[in-house]
Structure 1
Amino acid sequence: MGSADMNRTSRRRRRKATQRRFIIRRIIAAGAAVLLVVGVAVSTAASIGHITAPQDSAEATANIDFTKALHMALANSGAEETAPSEPNDDGNDTKDAAQRELDALGAPIDDAERARIYDEAKKTAEGSGQQPTKMTYCIATNGDVGDTSAFADTVDRVLNNPKGWPRAGVTFAQAESGCDVTVTLAAPEKLPTYSTYCSTEYSCRVGSDVIINRKRWDGAVDHWFEHGGTLATYRTMVINHEVGHALGHIDNEQACGGEGRPAPLMQEQSMFLNGCTINPWPLDSELWTTFYGAPV
């Protein structure tokens, strides 16, 4: 075949492709117009009380007919129907992983699991080089905060995690009364009732009361997520931070160690990071307490 013939063949193919695209666009535009007209008609009729829209309404029928027409037109034109591209699931995968992490943190704890958690915490405390001690805590609520089963199980898992305060020699046991501290999940408006220093925006500790603000429990803070954190890691941080006060620590007692370094646990990470990365666990330099409780 000569170059001229090849050029003519190529032009014919391009024209056919253009015609097919034109036909498809016309069908899509016509179908959209039909749907719009039918939708307006159904809506108008319903608004004056003439009809209610059943599940097999005219709009649904129009959708079906339009789909059939589109497939027929594609087949008759010879155009290939291309399957829609797969969506990027990275965002959904990340959300699913974060939800699984959250669910695992607050999952129900049976007796065997509780014994395992305490055993790991005790071993960590005994190997910490500190005097092993046990802090008892009660779980409470204040205001409308809903069910606290997951809250209680989260507190138990966090406080007895070998990455946390057991490294400073402290283990934690939930009790019904006579507790060293009471860990309360409170509605935001209840925080100032503990002290004028407590804000409706953040969690707080007053004496033996560790008060977790439900607003933060449910939503953390924006910059936590912006820096790669999850709600599960925020809950871990806020429990460890507020209980850290009961162990003798104060806010911001240690400055950020430098750009990109893990933030000290007792830094007010809910308010600022100062160049540090988010961190839910006490640093090695924070592994001390002024708490002297019962021996482990």
Structure 2
Amino acid sequence: MKRIRTILRALDPKAAATMSRRERTEAFRIRRSVVAWILALCVIVSCTSCSVHAVLVNAVLNGHAKTAQIGNSGTRSEKNGSIRESRKEIAAIREENPGIVGNERRKGLSGGNGGTAGRRRHQSASRAVGRADGRSESEILAKAQQTAQNSGYGMVQYHYCVVTNGEVGSVEDFSNAVFRILNSEHGWARAGAIFEPSTDGNCDFDIVLAQASTLPTFSSVCSEQYSCRVGNNVIINDDRWNSGTDVWMSGGGDLARYRTMMINHEVGHRLGHIDNEMTCAGAGQAAPLMQEQSIFLDGCAINEYPLDSELWIG
């Protein structure tokens, strides 16, 4: 108590007149210490405020990410707001890692465009594309263009080349399937993207049907077990093209739907999406296209087309 009274007296300006010289020296020392403690407290409060602000920012970002996982639920305006936030975060990741690789097994930095020596390029002029409904290529493309124009996102046209690497046999059926899948009115056309095979060799990207053993030659992060995307190479694993995966098949899928998912998923990487940017929102709901459905479903239903919440292109 005596110490407290001494401190209070030292802080009282009126008491200075009655203090001895020794007491005034002691009072000055006490005041200096109090000022130092006040400054230290201000610094601590400032740092704490910054930390709280950072926590709140992270909470907001996490909230956007969770909202983006709603899938087909919620209003369109809510979903579009979440999509824009998620897209900004993904764009930031891609800016920091310009060589990022889309892979159904894992992601990493590109090792270059290797693995294309001796490959065969297949350019496609206008041709009929066989379908159960008998539509021609021009009819399929016209429907895709109409879907893209009505999407509200603006139409973006891509030209691609079909390429083979290794021993994969005839590529004609593969080329026809690629065109049908990419220009389905249920696919990326809903985000405004349409796709045409190049007729002059000028390609926005290559779709490579590759022998499984050649996948690692494109990049060290590409696996012989799955498909991969490296730069402008969208690489389709021939083994997966011919057999799918146990996870997909046991989830109620068939090979035709697996092929559709695989093409849309890997081309999705070329459009700016990354693996598992969204994952299963709940048991029984449609899995996001960019979830690695070849490997896990987490209770979701298989799905070969982008969800409404995935309808953007980079």
Shared fold per TM-score greater than 0.5:
yes
Unaligned runs of 5+ in 1: 1-106, 291-296
Q: 1:230 to 1:108 in 2, by over 3 A?
A: farther
- TM-aligned CA deviation for residue 108 of structure 1: 5.8
| 2:243 aligned partner | 219
Q: What is the rounded CA distance, in whole Å, between the counterparts of 1:207 and 1:162 in structure 2?
A: 26
Identity of aligned residues (%): 51
Q: 1:109 aligns with which of 112, 129, 143?
A: 129
Counterparts of 1:83-162 in structure 2, within 5 Å, are 109=129, 113-162=136-185
* Maintained 8 Å contact 1:108/1:150: no
Q: What is the rounded CA distance, in whole Å, between the counterparts of 1:286 and 1:275 in structure 2?
A: 19
User: Structure 2 counterpart of 1:275, which letter?
Assistant: G
| 2:22 aligned partner | none
Tell me the secondary structure at the aligned position of residue 160 of structure 2. strand
1:256 aligns with 2:276: no
- TM-aligned CA deviation for residue 206 of structure 1: 0.3
- TM-aligned CA deviation for residue 233 of structure 1: 0.1
- TM-aligned CA deviation for residue 131 of structure 1: 1.4
Q: 2:218 aligns with which of 179, 194, 206?
A: 194
* Maintained 8 Å contact 2:247/2:293: no
User: Structure 1 counterpart of 2:202, which letter?
Assistant: G
Q: What is the rounded CA distance, in whole Å, between the counterparts of 1:108 and 1:257 in structure 2?
A: 40
User: Structure 2 counterpart of 1:138, which letter?
Assistant: C
Counterparts of 1:209-248 in structure 2, within 5 Å, are 209-248=233-272
Counterparts of 1:62-77 in structure 2, within 5 Å, are none
* Maintained 8 Å contact 2:128/2:136: no
Q: What is the rounded CA distance, in whole Å, between the counterparts of 2:284 and 2:175 in structure 1?
A: 33
Q: 1:265 aligns with which of 289, 292, 301?
A: 289
Q: What is the rounded CA distance, in whole Å, between the counterparts of 2:295 and 2:202 in structure 1?
A: 33
- TM-aligned CA deviation for residue 112 of structure 1: 6.8
What's the RMSD between the two structures over aligned residues? Answer: 1.6
Deviations 1:192-238 (A, max 9, x none): 01000100000000000000000100000012111111100000000
Size of the aligned set, in residue pairs, is 184
Q: What is the rounded CA distance, in whole Å, between the counterparts of 1:255 and 1:227 in structure 2?
A: 16
Q: 1:202 to 1:108 in 2, by over 3 A?
A: farther
User: Structure 2 counterpart of 1:187, which letter?
Assistant: Q
* Maintained 8 Å contact 1:108/1:149: no
Tell me the secondary structure at the aligned position of residue 139 of structure 1. strand
Q: What is the rounded CA distance, in whole Å, between the counterparts of 2:258 and 2:279 in structure 1?
A: 19
Q: What is the rounded CA distance, in whole Å, between the counterparts of 1:228 and 1:270 in structure 2?
A: 13
Under a length normalisation based on structure 2, what TM-score does the superposition of the two structures give? Answer: 0.57
Unaligned runs of 5+ in 2: 1-126
User: Structure 2 counterpart of 1:205, which letter?
Assistant: R
Structure 1 ranges of 4+ moved more than 4 A:
none
